[in-house]
Every structure is written in structure tokens, then in C-alpha cells.
């Protein structure tokens, strides 16, 4: 009996230990930490012990440089230069693009092998910025903290703080990720649950709310996603014994929604992706890909259910003795009404690769001293976050019950900041002169209450100082776009000022294509009127349009400029002037970007 009991306890103890024995590296590598993935992302792509790589391409909007190379009649620009450690991880990386230069350095603890610091320096057209990500680990070498700092104009501040809390049990290791932004507000926690063969990710803020993964050939593969993009959608994935994906099937509340299937030949040189439509019941297209013996794609074409064919993309490579490509050419054959056109070379890339030798010394800078601000963050942040979270919860309740001021109710005060209603955000104040008397005026912009950066109304308030007290004379939301109207740029409000007895409001937004508005308002004839507007829009290294309209005089100007960054050229291709008088619209009727102006020789209307 004693022997059986000892054996039973031994088996239970062994099972518990094995269930808990999840390597720290396995945990760290699967916590979706950007810098970790960056530092190792080239290891699986490169063969041999690579020391440095310089990459050049013809497909880049860059100005001429001393680093340019000529290859088969094409000008190739240096786009990155990466230095590697002997273990294959990055030591440093320089990237060059049309918008500027970035330099990144990676610092490691040589005894544990953990990444300690990633530094990034950005030198772009609109300024220089430095970011640093500091990583700290517990006694088991599992990451415990990540502190991200931003340095701009000699000022260092918190970008965000992330706490990783590990909870051990007999069957699993649970890591809770708590993130605090620069505004000292905490985001909903993200959770990772590891056991011996499975991983579950719970991400309230992401498009994939719940991901279920399992280990296949020592790599976690996604088996299922719950609430993918929309609530109630589930996505299922299947793989073959080699770890290759063979299906992706979507289900919603009505059943089958979408389906993709994948097949491969035995030596992995060909694959077919079949895409289904009509809620996943009929094949809509088949995408054919071919690969060379090194696993690099050489052919890509889609054929559709109606028998039509897509354009062909092909690649040719030259390899060095280690099996890494050093020349890559992309060709394109356009499909037009079922006929494949002539094969054209579109881009060329080359890589200059150096390898470690027995005499090579691994490059690496000395780890900088930990900034003092990190100790301040650790000491003060928990208290600040607790206070802010308490305020935010109170604000949420006020919004849910509609129990907050919907307009500024204070009539006068010594300080303009006192006019800000509870739960509103004061964005900016500008002071100046708006009329003929000697008393000061001021204008302020506010963002109305919202939660989680949802779209919110923004309000303009106008103040006048009389007898030493500020008094509100006007408030309106008409001349301001809402807080999320700037596209991927977020809040489009870009500043307010007083100039020449007028209120000047700037907006800015867009993504690759940018737009800017400036509107000028003046008090006349007993009300506020729009007296002038400017608009600019376009894309860097492509084109830019400038429009200015003096509504008071009717004078309008238009100018279109094209830019070729590769050649360093900028040229005005069209300009016009026109006088068109209109009745100045009242401020309360203006919606930025909704008004139009048409020049006789310009194809499209201008929106201002």
C-alpha cells in the first residue's frame, strides 16, 4: 500500500511539474512584443552565419544619394543596412525611405540572452524623435515590465508602460498584460494562458478577441478565433502534418460565411489557394504560386470562377554559396481580356551580404545607463493610474446616464481654464484682439466627453475680458470637425489662433493622401462670418494642391505641384487665379471641407 501511495504521489508530482515546465523563452516569444519579434525576424529567413546585409531597391521614392548603385541600367537606392549578432539576432538596423531615416539598436544581456533595450532614432521631414523600450525580467527570466520612453526636443517622457504578471498553477501559466498609456490611463488587460500544448490569447481591444492556438512542430498555430472583427464570428484553421495550413473557414450567426482551402505538392514548390464565395459554397478563384528550391516565390497568378485569368507576377533570383539571394527581380505580365501581355521588369533588388569568419568580432554598443525617469515612473505611476481610472469610471457613468454639462454654463471667471465643464477636455487657448476696443479677447477649443477615444463633438468658445473678468460671448461646434474625423491621423484639430482681428482654425488629416484646412472668421455686421479659407491636399513624392480663397474680396488662387523624390524634382504644373464673390457665410453654417469651388480649367472641384 505504501509503495502504491508513493508511486501515486510521484506520478501526480511529475505531472504537475511537467505541466508547469514551460520554458521562459517560449512564454516571452509568444507575448506579441514587437521588439522581440523584430530582433529575431530574420533568423528563419537567412542561411549561414550572416554578419551584415545592405539592401538596395529600384522601387523607392528617394532622392539621389552617394549610396546609390546602378544595376542593369536601373538606379538602386539603399533602403536598409542591418548588422547581426552571431546568434542571428539583430544588433542594429538603419532604414532609409522617402520620409526620412530611422536607426535602431538592440542591447542584450549576454548571460541570459534577453533583450534589454531597443533604441530607435527617427530623422524625418517633420523633425527628430527618439524612442527607447526597456525590458525587465523576473527571477525565472520571464518578462515582467516594459517601459517605453519618447525623447523630443531634449524632453524625455513616458510613451507607455506595460506590466506582465505571471500566475502559476498546476495546469497552466497565466500571463496578464496591463498597459498604461502616456495619459496615465490603463487599457483593458490582455491575457495569455499557456499549458503544455496550448495557448489561449484573450484580447479585448483587438479584432481577434479570443485566439486558441496549439503547438505543432514546436510552433504555436492558430486553431480558432472568436469574435473576429465582428461579434459572433468564429474562424477555424486546419493544418497538415508538416504544419502547412490547409483551410480557413468562417462562421457567423447564420452559419458558414467564408472559406479558403490550400493544397501543396510533395516538395513544397507549388501551392493552390481556393477562395469560395456565396457564403463559402462555391469557388470564386484559385491562386497559384510556385517556389524555388530555397522556398522563395517565383510565380503568382489568380484564375477566376468565370474562366478569366489575372495578371502574372514572377520573380528571378541569384544566390550566393550559402543559399541567400543576392539579386531579386520582379516581373509583371498584365492580363487584359484574357490575354497575357508582355513580361516587364518592374523592380530590381540586390543585397550585399557579409558573413562571420573565425576572426570576426561581434559588434555591439555598451548598454546605456537606465534613465532616472524609469524609477520615477515605477514610484509614481501606480498612484496616478489609480486616480485617473477612478475619474474615468466616474466619467463613464456620467456619459451613460447623460449627467454631464452639454454646454459651458459658467458666465465669468478670473481664469479661462475655470470655464471647462467637468469631463470636457480643453484642447487649446489663444489670446489676442478681435475688435476695436482695448480689452483682451480669447478663443478656446474643447472636446466633449467621450470614452475610449470615440468620435466626439468639439466646441469653440469666444471670451472677452471686462473689468478684470473673463466672460463668455459665444460657443458653437459648427466650425470644428469631430474628434475622429481625421482618418488614421485621429483628431483633425490642428490649432487655433487670433490674427488680424480674426479667429484662425486649422484642421489636418488623411493617411498617405493628406489634407489641410485653414478657416478665418471675423465679427462684422453683428455676427461671426467666414472671410477666408485655404485648403491643401495631396501625397508626398507625388503631387500637392494649394487653394486660397479671400471671401471678402473674392480673390481665389489654385496651384498644383508634382514632385519626383527620386530625381529631387518639384514642378508647378498648373496655376490659376479667379475672382468670385459670394456672400460670406455665417460661422454657424460652416462645415470644414463641405464647401466647393470650381475653377474653369481645373477638372475637379476644390473642397474647403
pLDDT single digits (tens) 116-137? 999 999 997 767 899 999 999 9
Q: How far, CA to CA in Å, does 555 sit from each of 278, 547, 551?
A: 55, 11, 7
Q: Residue 46: in which H helix or E strand, if any?
A: none
Instruction: Please report whether residue 113 resides in a domain.
Output: no
The pLDDT of residue 60: 64
Instruction: Please report whether residue 587 resides in a domain.
Output: yes
- What is the rounded end-to-end Cα distance, in angstroms, of the chain? 89
Q: Per-residue pLDDT averaged across 556-580, rounded?
A: 87
The pLDDT of residue 170: 84
What's the number of domains the chain is made of? 2
Instruction: Please report whether residue 164 resides in a domain.
Output: no
Higher pLDDT, 67 or 496: 496
Percent of the chain with pLDDT over 90: 75
- Write out pLDDT tens, residues 159-194: 999 999 999 888 899 999 999 988 887 888 999 999
- The number of residues making up the chain comes to 608
* Residue 569 to residue 212: CA distance in whole angstroms: 52
CB–CB of 58/347 below 8 Å?
A: yes
Q: Check whether 98 has a pLDDT greater than 90.
A: no
Instruction: Please report whether residue 513 resides in a domain.
Output: yes
Last residue of some domain: 236, 257, 278? 257
Q: Per mean pLDDT, which of 16-30, 77-91, 562-576 is the most reliable?
A: 77-91
Q: Check whether 91 has a pLDDT greater than 70.
A: yes
Instruction: Provide the whole-model pTM.
Output: 0.69
CB–CB of 289/298 below 8 Å?
A: no
Last residue of some domain: 237, 257, 277? 257
Structural domain of residue 568, as residue ranges?
Answer: 408-607
Q: Check whether 1 has a pLDDT greater than 60.
A: no
Residue 178's SS3 state is strand
C-alpha grid cell, residue 16: 504537475
Last residue of some domain: 257, 282, 304? 257
Instruction: Please report whether residue 558 resides in a domain.
Output: yes
Instruction: Please report whether residue 263 resides in a domain.
Output: no
- Write out pLDDT tens, residues 474-530: 999 999 999 988 887 789 999 999 999 999 999 999 887 899 999 999 999 999 999
Instruction: Please report whether residue 161 resides in a domain.
Output: no
The pLDDT of residue 13: 42
Instruction: Please report whether residue 215 resides in a domain.
Output: yes
Amino acid at each position: 500500500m505504501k509503495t502504491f501511495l508513493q508511486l501515486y504521489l510521484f506520478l501526480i508530482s511529475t505531472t504537475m511539474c511537467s505541466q508547469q515546465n514551460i520554458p521562459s523563452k517560449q512564454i516571452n516569444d509568444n507575448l506579441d512584443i514587437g521588439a522581440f519579434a523584430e530582433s529575431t525576424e530574420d533568423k528563419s529567413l537567412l542561411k549561414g552565419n550572416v554578419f551584415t546585409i545592405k539592401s538596395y531597391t529600384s522601387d523607392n521614392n528617394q532622392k539621389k544619394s552617394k549610396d546609390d548603385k546602378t544595376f542593369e541600367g536601373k538606379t538602386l537606392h539603399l533602403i536598409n543596412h542591418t548588422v547581426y549578432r552571431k546568434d542571428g539576432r539583430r544588433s542594429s538596423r538603419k532604414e532609409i525611405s522617402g520620409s526620412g531615416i530611422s536607426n535602431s539598436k538592440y542591447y542584450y544581456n549576454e548571460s541570459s540572452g534577453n533583450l534589454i533595450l531597443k533604441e530607435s532614432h527617427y530623422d524625418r521631414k517633420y523633425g527628430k524623435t527618439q524612442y527607447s523600450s526597456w525590458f525587465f525580467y523576473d527571477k525565472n527570466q520571464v518578462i515582467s515590465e516594459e517601459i517605453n520612453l519618447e525623447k523630443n526636443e531634449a524632453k524625455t517622457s513616458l510613451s507607455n508602460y506595460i506590466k506582465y504578471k505571471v500566475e502559476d498553477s498546476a495546469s497552466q501559466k497565466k500571463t496578464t498584460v496591463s498597459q498604461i498609456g502616456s495619459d496615465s490611463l490603463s487599457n483593458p488587460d490582455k491575457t495569455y494562458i499557456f499549458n503544455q500544448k496550448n495557448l489561449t490569447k484573450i484580447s479585448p481591444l483587438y479584432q481577434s478577441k479570443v485566439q486558441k492556438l496549439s503547438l505543432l512542430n514546436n510552433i504555436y498555430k492558430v486553431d480558432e478565433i472568436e469574435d473576429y472583427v465582428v461579434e459572433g464570428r468564429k474562424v477555424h484553421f486546419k493544418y497538415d502534418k508538416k504544419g502547412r495550413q490547409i483551410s480557413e473557414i468562417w462562421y457567423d450567426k447564420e452559419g458558414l460565411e467564408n472559406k479558403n482551402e490550400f493544397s501543396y505538392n510533395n516538395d513544397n514548390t507549388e501551392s493552390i489557394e481556393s477562395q469560395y464565395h456565396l457564403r463559402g459554397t462555391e469557388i470564386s478563384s484559385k491562386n497559384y504560386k510556385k517556389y524555388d528550391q530555397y522556398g522563395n516565390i517565383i510565380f503568382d497568378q489568380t484564375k477566376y470562377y468565370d474562366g478569366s485569368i489575372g495578371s502574372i507576377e514572377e520573380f528571378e533570383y541569384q544566390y550566393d554559396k550559402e543559399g541567400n539571394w543576392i539579386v531579386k527581380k520582379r516581373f509583371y505580365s498584365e492580363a487584359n481580356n484574357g490575354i497575357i501581355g508582355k513580361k516587364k521588369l518592374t523592380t530590381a533588388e540586390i543585397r550585399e551580404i557579409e558573413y562571420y569568419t573565425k576572426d570576426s568580432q561581434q559588434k555591439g554598443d555598451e548598454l546605456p545607463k537606465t534613465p532616472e525617469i524609469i524609477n520615477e515612473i515605477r514610484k509614481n505611476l501606480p498612484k496616478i493610474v489609480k486616480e485617473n481610472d477612478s475619474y474615468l469610471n466616474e466619467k463613464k457613468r456620467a456619459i451613460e446616464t447623460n449627467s454631464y454639462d452639454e454646454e459651458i454654463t459658467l458666465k465669468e471667471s478670473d481664469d479661462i481654464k475655470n470655464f471647462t465643464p467637468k469631463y470636457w477636455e480643453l484642447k487649446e487657448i489663444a489670446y489676442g484682439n478681435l475688435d476695436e476696443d482695448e480689452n483682451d479677447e480669447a478663443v478656446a477649443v474643447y472636446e466633449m466627453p467621450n470614452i475610449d477615444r470615440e468620435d466626439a463633438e468639439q466646441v469653440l468658445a469666444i471670451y472677452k475680458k471686462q473689468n478684470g473678468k473673463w466672460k463668455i460671448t459665444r460657443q458653437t461646434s459648427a466650425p470644428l470637425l469631430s474628434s475622429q474625423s481625421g482618418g488614421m491621423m485621429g483628431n483633425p484639430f490642428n490649432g487655433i489662433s487670433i490674427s488680424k482681428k480674426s479667429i484662425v482654425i486649422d484642421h489636418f488629416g488623411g493617411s498617405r493622401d493628406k489634407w489641410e484646412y485653414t478657416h478665418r472668421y471675423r465679427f462684422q455686421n453683428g455676427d461671426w462670418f467666414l472671410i477666408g479659407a485655404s485648403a491643401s491636399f495631396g501625397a508626398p513624392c507625388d503631387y500637392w494642391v494649394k487653394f486660397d480663397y479671400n471671401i471678402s474680396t473674392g480673390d481665389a488662387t489654385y496651384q498644383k505641384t508634382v514632385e519626383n523624390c527620386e530625381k529631387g524634382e518639384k514642378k508647378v504644373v498648373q496655376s490659376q487665379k479667379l475672382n468670385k464673390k459670394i456672400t460670406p457665410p455665417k460661422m454657424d453654417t460652416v462645415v470644414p471641407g463641405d464647401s466647393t469651388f470650381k475653377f474653369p480649367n481645373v477638372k475637379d472641384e476644390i473642397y474647403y
